[in-house]
Amino acid sequence: MQNEHPLSDEVLALAELALRAGKQYMVYNNSIYYLDKTDVYFFATRIEANSFAADNISDHDRFHVLPFNSIADLLAKIPYGEQFNQTPINDPDQNGLYNRDGNAFTDALIEHFESTTISQQLNFKLMNQENLQYLSDNLKYMGFGDALKADLEKNLQEGKPEFKLEFFNEIGNKGFEASLNFRKSESTDMYFFNNYQASLHRSNGEEVNQTFYLNKGKGVTAKEAFNLLDGRAVHKELLDKEGQPYKAWLQLDFENKDKHNNFEVRQFHENYGYDLKAAVEKFAVAELNDPDKSKALMQSLEKGNVQSVTIEKDGSSHKMFMEADPQYKKVTLYDSNMKMVAKESLEQYKSGIDKGSKEVKEGQENDKKKDLKPVTKIEKEKLEKKNGQSLLPKKRESKGKGLGVS
């Protein structure tokens, strides 16, 4: 039996069910090494657990009370290979602080002693590793990479109520900084990544700042924060006050700030009517011909990136750049030198369907006219005599103005 953990799988399953039922005190038979489901009992209060342990002691059985708050906690307090007949510090039968009646004073002292036991330290170490892994994955998801992991681990080990991590990256010729804020839970030893203050140093020397908040580990990523601070829009899935998800384009309003000194955020919801794909399709973008490249292009634009595209027109290719502009329901086009293409110059880069749409319509009308056969004199007379009425349209008088087509 020395190669087996003292807690069987059945005991662990019972412990899991007990936790769900609010029973956080396990009473186990300390006279044997390997525990089966018939050797453990679970209670909701310390008084009930102590009472059961005291009433069931015999020449062959000796019960001890073990408080726990998770399966990991239970495994840490009864680790692999440890003999049960070693009396623990929190043994209710050996420790005079435990009593069957219980009071606030003794309960406080008991909690103090329990917090300093070796088993609690082992449990803290285990939880610390799980917390480290969770936060490391969260930082990767949020676009801050692996560079902060060593500092993160160091701060977790120190156990401070809160701490900050500093991040820096340079994109193009613009410096991006972020101060990441972590806070310890008031009820557990877990730390959470709550928000970060981001700063962008623009090429003209201007610095803009914004605080971005996380909701259940999700929020605006580092690259999206860079794009927002650089003036572009980002498409995100958000939660409303009722917790229901919805999608919207976000863009910072650099003219107005809220009470927290953050720029106000403008939202362009789906019912605003912005169709990114339709806006892109107005131009002769070669990437649209490949489903995978088209999908990647849309995803990049939704993240607020200035994305390179290839415009193929009249047998020639032009390397250009594009960004989403939901406010005006269009995309902005830049040349290869990142100079914005003027409105009057956009026509040369548009697709055949969009460019010269008026000429296409006129051509279609001309084709329809060609398909109409001329009415002969005899056919005209027959139509006029039918029912004594003319079925031909009356000649419209000229008013001296042409009719415009909208």
Domains in the chain: boundaries: 9-116, 145-272, 276-349
User: pLDDT averaged over the chain?
Assistant: 78
Q: Lowest-confidence range among 111-115, 290-294, 398-402? A: 398-402
Round to whole Å and give the CA distance between 75 and 35: 13
The answer to whether 11 touches 29, Cβ cutoff 8 Å, is no
Reported as a pLDDT band with limits 50, 70 and 90, residue 188 is confident
What's the mean pLDDT in 358-362? Answer: 46
CB-based contacts of 157, cutoff 8 Å, min separation 6:
128
One-letter identity of residue 390: S
Residue 399 to residue 27: CA distance in whole angstroms: 102
Q: Which amino acid is at 307?
A: Q
The enclosing H or E element of 299 equals helix 291-302
Among 34, 354, 115, 14, smallest CA distance to 26 is for 14
- Is residue 400's pLDDT more than 80? no
Tell me, what's the pLDDT at 241? Answer: 81
pLDDT at 376: 53
Q: How confident is the model at residue 5 (pLDDT cuts 50, 70, 90)?
A: low
**Cα(110)–Cα(348) distance, rounded to whole angstroms?**
80
13/179 Cα distance (integer angstroms)? 42
Q: Are 322 and 302 a contacting pair, CB within 8 Å?
A: no
Say what the pLDDT of residue 51 is: 81
pLDDT range class, residue 401, cuts 50, 70, 90: very low
β 191-201/245-257 pair status: unpaired
Cβ–Cβ < 8 Å for 112, 53: no
pTM: 0.59
